[in-house]
Structure 1
Amino acid sequence: DVIFVVAAYLSAYNARAHGVHDYITSLMFNSPAGLSDAMDLAKMLAVLEMAAELETLDFRVWRQTRTGLLSYPVDSDLARAHLAVSVYLQMALKPHIIHVVGYTEADHAATASEVIESCKLARRAIENALRGQPDMTHDPAVQFRKEELLREARVTLDVISSLSPANISDPLTDVTTLTQAVRWGILDAPQLGNNPHARGEVVSRIDSRGACIAIDPKSGQPIDETARLAMLAF
Structure 2
Amino acid sequence: MGWYASKGLPVEVNDSHQWSLRDAPDAVAVAAAFLAAYNAKKAGVSTYVAQYMFNNPRGTSPRNDLAKMSAKIELIEGLQNGSFRALREARTGLNSLPLDMDQAKGHLGSSIHTVMAIRPDIVHVVGYSEANYQVGPKELVESCRIAQGAIRNALLGMPDPLADEAVRARKAELLGEARFLLDEIRGIAEKGVPDPWTDPHTLARAVKMGILDAPHLFGNPTACGRTVTRMVEGASRAVEPSTGKALSEHERLRWLGIA
- TM-score range (shorter-chain normalised) is over 0.9
Equivalent residues of 1:184, 1:233 under 8 A apart:
no
For 1:224, the aligned partner's letter is: S
TM norm structure 1 = 0.97
Q: From 99, 115, 129, give the equivalent of 2:154.
A: 129
Alignment of 1:39-188 (within 5 A): 39-188=64-213
SS in 1 for 2:234: coil
For 2:247, the aligned partner's letter is: I
Cα RMSD (Å) of the superposition?
A: 0.9
SS in 1 for 2:95: helix
Q: Which segment is superposed worse, 224-233 or 84-93?
A: 224-233
Q: From 211, 223, 230, give the equivalent of 2:247.
A: 223
Task: Name the CA distance, whole Å, in 2 between partners of 1:204 and 1:87.
Answer: 26
What is the CA-CA distance between 1:182 and the residue it aligns to?
A: 0.5
> Which structure 1 residue ranges, 4+ long, deviate > 6 Å from structure 2?
none
For 2:175, the aligned partner's letter is: L
1:4 to 2:61 alignment: no
Residue by residue, what CA displacement relative to the aligned partner does 1:170-226 show, whole Å, maximum 9, x if unpaired?
Answer: 11000110000011111100111132211111111111x311111112322111111
* Structure 1, gaps ≥5 residues long: none
Aligned residues: 233
* Structure 2, gaps ≥5 residues long: 1-25
TM norm structure 2 = 0.88
For 1:228, the aligned partner's letter is: R
Q: Which residue pairs with 2:5 in the alignment?
A: none
What is the CA-CA distance between 1:28 and the residue it aligns to?
A: 0.4
Q: Which residue pairs with 2:56 in the alignment?
A: 31
Q: From 205, 212, 217, give the equivalent of 2:230.
A: 205
Task: Name the CA distance, whole Å, in 1 between partners of 2:114 and 2:246.
Answer: 27
Q: Which residue pairs with 1:191 in the alignment?
A: 216
Equivalent residues of 1:66, 1:100 under 8 A apart:
yes
